[in-house]
Structure 1
């Protein structure tokens, strides 16, 4: 399933050589290539390899098959076992490189594959100007672009069951996190349905309730955090974790089995009305789409954005959003990789998003017909959305793991925040970042 999660700290401290975690070692790829490429030029006999995660093996299928037909090239996908975000750096450290790869295009995750050493700069590619504003902001490190953005970042917001909301008499969507909690209490008292469905079994969705509450943190906080002048133990973050525990979980606003429930269970519960709301990213929409028609979804569920003090969404890039091309030293293959990106985001893009039922990342290319209303609402909310901490922090700690410890009584909210702080510093120190 799609998720925004940081590279595990072990990738830098025990699983990968020191070189693989440094920000500055190794040779540079040099200046970005200039001039456009002919996206359909013959590449007969050229063979490329693309690394994908277990959950994204089918994502590039349409683009690959169309490109192979148009150019005569061959692109072979190779699945890297989970956890993808830590196994990729480990494999790269062994000296093996693909030509192309899915990778989360954020400033917290791109550095783990040493873009200045390993990747082609893509500053001057013909598709860059076609991207939307939010998408253009992704895929860059130290002023250079290293990732093509082929899908829209996941959008964080609230899926809700329309019938349960109607039964509770809720006709106006909440305008803040606290208003949402007030509505949750109304739902519980008037319908008896669990207001929220939380996913302790799969752990990773636990972070979203806290992330939504962190949206009032100013940019100065992130600037200071990234210079080791502020901390994940900041009162705003501790208070957010505490509110999640005391008001929502301990307050009885989640379903009874929240400690063990799964991501798949969450989608089923929102569709069948045994839970009223689920705060999650676009992955939940994809999960529901796999077993329900657009008509069923539009009839049964809705979606609204939420932030701590506003009705705004958050965006959360994942590895299926970005494609990077490696500096392999083989000019022919490097040019072919650039050509594939140009074809994917150019001639093929309308067919690609239609085949995969995706929101377009290019304003000039309309969304395909048949998208559920939840997807259209998320696309609309993206322009005013703020980035989750995976976007803002130099590296993203695995807060969801500490939150899982919390729901089992193994950590306090303060200890969850401290665990995030400890991992944050440990990873940046291992990467050799100044100030840590």
Structure 2
């Protein structure tokens, strides 16, 4: 099983949902320093991970064995956690949340020094790594991304071609017409929401902020945009498209019965036409195609259906950030694991993801974007803390599925209301939060 990645800026980390969640003590001043001599680093460390599949199939043990070739005195233990966000959030009320962990999305960026050891000066680390701004607090970096992901629609190209569509839709209207053609001409579900699992309605859709406007600061601007669900705004375009897909009957019949793991095989077999996900999913879906005996090359990737000056844009975002527990007794060993896993393991390449190392090229999984001059938008994180504060005060939850689940329910008639009224409600809550918390 592969639990969802948080997807970078979409992870728009909120303040902790558990009141207080005060497992951390005073903010750390001790840097988890990269060790100079591997032979001098020792200790047993525990790594918490959402990649339960890689723990269960032994892949993480293989990584640890390779790591031990360089760091023979460090013993690495893995804990794969299915409900990663929920369980780790609770564990962080104590000091027992591993030595290395992926930063849960519910932790506000400004609270990172309470829970994690700094990894170094951001200005210095930014020369080498992408996405350091995501975990910057007062000039220090508190997490290094496991990899980067680019947002877009994974789709079964054979299904789209059977429906007579060979070119990428350039507008939401064209996209809806394409899904209508899939519905009319194939036996596939045009779009699969993965409603029940929840996360596919949060990060992939919120991660599209910036793709519509081709604006690296689109997410930052939410900190003082009073009505973001106004026609022309990124969130308006994004959420209206989701609403219209559902309202037009272009999704599965009963969204409450969806299943993420099953959906991989379904799209590989041509039973599903399209899903909005990060590029991290491409490799998994192609693996599912191999297991299903279908052509892995049928799994394609297209940008959000919107253009700026005739060009597609796609957000480039950080996945989960690896951090060192402020309470760890083996911070050097923990930092050694993070550095090795980021730079030497080949994990990002294996996953078909974007390397965190700036010197590395884009992966072949993004060849459709590279060949069609899609512009990569690496979103600014300069005001993430402010956006988080507004989001928390509004109680909307850009990084949570709840408000889009309600949107889907309104669109399918399971809840009272309409799109105009719901957007007005969201705008009212957001504008009030901007004035109070912004």
Tell me the TM-score normalized by structure 2: 0.73
Taking the aligned partners of 1:163 and 1:406, their CA distance within structure 2 comes to: 30
Query: 1:124: how far off?
Result: 4.6
Preserved contact between residue 22 and residue 92 of structure 2 (Cα < 8 Å): no
Aligned match of 1:340 = 337
Query: 1:324: how far off?
Result: 0.5
Aligned match of 2:401 = 400
Preserved contact between residue 201 and residue 260 of structure 1 (Cα < 8 Å): yes
Query: 1:401: how far off?
Result: 2.1
> 1:97-116 residue pairs with structure 2 within 5 A?
97-103=97-103, 109-111=106-108, 114-116=111-113
Aligned match of 1:303 = 301
Aligned match of 1:30 = 29
Would the alpha carbon gap of residues 336 and 417 (structure 1) be closer, same or farther in structure 2, given more than 3 Å must change?
farther
Query: 1:120: how far off?
Result: 2.0
Taking the aligned partners of 2:65 and 2:135, their CA distance within structure 1 comes to: 25
Would the alpha carbon gap of residues 219 and 47 (structure 1) be closer, same or farther in structure 2, given more than 3 Å must change?
closer
Q: Once the two structures are superposed, what CA deviation does each residue of 1:388-433 show, in whole Å capped at 9, x if it has no partner?
A: 99x953255355223323434226444477479869999x99xxxx
Aligned match of 1:158 = 153
Aligned match of 2:376 = 384
Taking the aligned partners of 2:223 and 2:280, their CA distance within structure 1 comes to: 28
Aligned match of 2:326 = 327
3-state SS in 2 of match to 1:50:
strand
Would the alpha carbon gap of residues 55 and 422 (structure 1) be closer, same or farther in structure 2, given more than 3 Å must change?
farther
> 1:46-57 residue pairs with structure 2 within 5 A?
46-53=43-50, 55=52
Aligned match of 1:64 = 64
Taking the aligned partners of 2:378 and 2:295, their CA distance within structure 1 comes to: 26
Preserved contact between residue 49 and residue 102 of structure 2 (Cα < 8 Å): yes
Would the alpha carbon gap of residues 194 and 117 (structure 1) be closer, same or farther in structure 2, given more than 3 Å must change?
closer
Query: 1:240: how far off?
Result: 4.5
Aligned residue pairs, count: 404
Preserved contact between residue 205 and residue 280 of structure 1 (Cα < 8 Å): yes
Unaligned runs of 5+ in 1: none
Query: 1:199: how far off?
Result: 2.1
Unaligned runs of 5+ in 2: 392-396
Residue 184 of structure 1 is aligned with which of 161, 165, 179? 179
Q: Once the two structures are superposed, what CA deviation does each residue of 1:273-321 show, in whole Å capped at 9, x if it has no partner?
A: 23332222235434424433399554322211225335222345443xx
Taking the aligned partners of 1:280 and 1:117, their CA distance within structure 2 comes to: 32
Preserved contact between residue 298 and residue 374 of structure 1 (Cα < 8 Å): no
Aligned match of 1:206 = 201
Query: 1:147: how far off?
Result: 0.8
> 1:120-269 residue pairs with structure 2 within 5 A?
120-124=117-121, 129-131=127-129, 134-152=130-148, 154-191=149-186, 193-207=188-202, 208=204, 212=208, 215-216=211-212, 222-223=219-220, 225-226=222-223, 230-231=226-227, 234=230, 236=233, 237=235, 240-245=238-243, 247-269=244-266
Query: 1:157: how far off?
Result: 0.9
CA RMSD of aligned residues (A): 4.3
Preserved contact between residue 209 and residue 279 of structure 1 (Cα < 8 Å): yes
3-state SS in 2 of match to 1:269:
helix
> 1:362-373 residue pairs with structure 2 within 5 A?
362-365=357-360
Preserved contact between residue 37 and residue 342 of structure 1 (Cα < 8 Å): no
Aligned match of 2:394 = none
Tell me the TM-score normalized by structure 1: 0.74
Taking the aligned partners of 2:114 and 2:209, their CA distance within structure 1 comes to: 37
Query: 1:264: how far off?
Result: 2.9
Preserved contact between residue 266 and residue 278 of structure 1 (Cα < 8 Å): no
